[in-house]
Amino acid sequence: MFDRRLFRPGGPVPQREREWPSFRGAINEAMREEMRRDPAVFQMGEDIAGASPFGVTARLVTEFGTERVRDTPCSEVAVVGAAVGAAMGGMRPIVEFQFGDFLSVAIDQLTHQAAMLRYLTGGQVKVPIVIRLPCGGGQGAGSQHSQSLYSWFAHAPGIKVALPATSMDAKGLMKSAIRDDNPVLFFEHKALYRTRWPAPAEFRDPNHVIPFGRAAVRRIGDDLTVVATLTMVHHALAAAEALAKEGVSVEVIDPRTLVPLDTETIIQSVRKTGRLLAVDEAYLTCGIQGEVIALVTEHAFQALKVAPRRLGNPGVPVPFAPPLEDAVLPDQERITSAIRDMVSA
């Protein structure tokens, strides 16, 4: 469904950007608008002023200069820590990681410092930072450049987690992230960067934001609820489309943020359909899929007609060779077959 050509040439097509903004262009636009609006917003990251790997910060330096678009040395602990301190000092830093996996290097600064300082100081400080994390597999980028690690961080108290799946959401959620007074992790699936999505009129409105904690019902259906994020939203929609021809009606819910999570919309949906499939690239064990299922089971157990199911990486590093990589990631086909099993059970 998504091509593997992430690193191949194939630049932006500016004339199409207006009607069909690209995912990466949408994030760029959100950051640009917020930097214009609020002088406290600034950026730090490796090669973000020069040539960042996926071009999300392209040309920001021309408008805002190297004071506000700061190239950093390869020092993730110092940079995340600097973001935390600068945020306490009244700034609103945005930090780019070249690949989200590398946040592992700076976890203490995030989970123990950024995320806990407000609580530990009895509410005296706030830490408004955004950390941008390219994530996801399917690109032949290797095990340490392909993960979807939000379950690690949703587990830690004090961190918000955004997972945009379209250009519109990328822009609106990024603006909310920047305006939020808490640490926000913003996960950007690499396969989405070059995709283009139709933009409603409000896409151009610099005051339009998409609030955290509100799921998008991407497709309405009666027989089964799929909860999916990032690229899996699109795999699920394609599966739903195909299954409609077989008379199976699938509802697809994209939570858009994991923290806060719109449990209400998910539970409502399962009360209607009686079936729940949670799909994500996250490792299954202690993954976000299990959290969704637990919430539904706690709140709507009586509504369930069959046992909920989850799809995800079964628990191996995302391997380098394409046939191995395909073996560990969920896709349209696996979603379709899981849904078939569940509705015929």
Partner 1 sequence: MNVAMHLGLLRTMLLIRRLETAWADAYFQEEIGGIPPALSTGQEAVSAGACAALEPGDYVFTTHRGQAPQVARGLDPKRIMAELYCRRTGYNKGKSYHVTDVTRGVIGMGGIVAGQVPVAGGMALAQKLGRSDRVSMAFFGDGASNEGAVHETANLAAMWTLPLILLCENNGYCVTQPVAVAVKAVSIADRAAGYGLPAAVVDGNDPLVVYDAVAAAVARARAGGGATLIEAKTVRLGGHLAHDPQSYRSKEELAAAWEQCPIKRMRERLLAEGLLTAEGYARMEAAVEGEVAAAVEFARQSPFPEPREAFDDLWA
Ligand X SMILES: Cc1ncc(C[n+]2csc(CCOP(=O)(O)OP(=O)(O)O)c2C)c(N)n1
Please give the positions annotated as active site: 145
Site track for partner 1 across 143-182, x = CB under 8 A: xxx-------------------------------------
- With 0-12 CB in 10 A as exposed, 13-18 as middle and 19+ as buried, what is 257? buried
- Residue showing the smallest CB distance to ligand X in the complex: 102
Q: Which of 1, 4, 112, 120 binds partner 1 (CB under 8 A)?
A: 4
- Find the binder of ligand X among 33, 34, 76, 281 (CB under 6 A): 76
Closest to partner 1 by CB, 13 vs 74, is: 74
Which residue, 213 or 319, is less far from partner 1 as judged by CB?
319
Q: Is 105 among the residues that bind ligand X (CB under 6 A)?
A: yes
Q: Which does 96 bind (CB under 5 to 8 A by kind): partner 1, ligand X, none?
A: none
Residue 96 makes contact with ligand X by CB under 6 A? no
Q: Least distance (Å) from ligand X to the CB of residue 77?
A: 10
Considering only 1, 13, 74, 327, the residue that binds ligand X (CB under 6 A) is: 74
Determine, following the binding rule CB under 6 A, whether residue 291 of this chain makes contact with ligand X: no
Tell me the closest approach of the beta carbon of residue 97 to ligand X, in angstroms: 7
Residue carrying the six token digits 């060779």: 321
Binding mask 46-75 for partner 1 (x = CB under 8 A): xx--xx-x-----------------x-xxx
Length of the chain: 345
Q: Which does 78 bind (CB under 5 to 8 A by kind): ligand X, partner 1, none?
A: partner 1
Pick the closer one to ligand X by CB: 105 or 303. Answer: 105
Q: Is 111 one of the binding residues for ligand X (CB under 6 A)?
A: no
By the rule CB under 6 A, 102 interacts with ligand X? yes
Residues making contact with partner 1 (CB under 8 A): 4-5, 7-9, 46-47, 50-51, 53, 71, 73-78, 98, 101-102, 104-105, 139-145, 314-317, 319-328
Residues making contact with ligand X (CB under 6 A): 46, 74, 76, 98, 102, 105
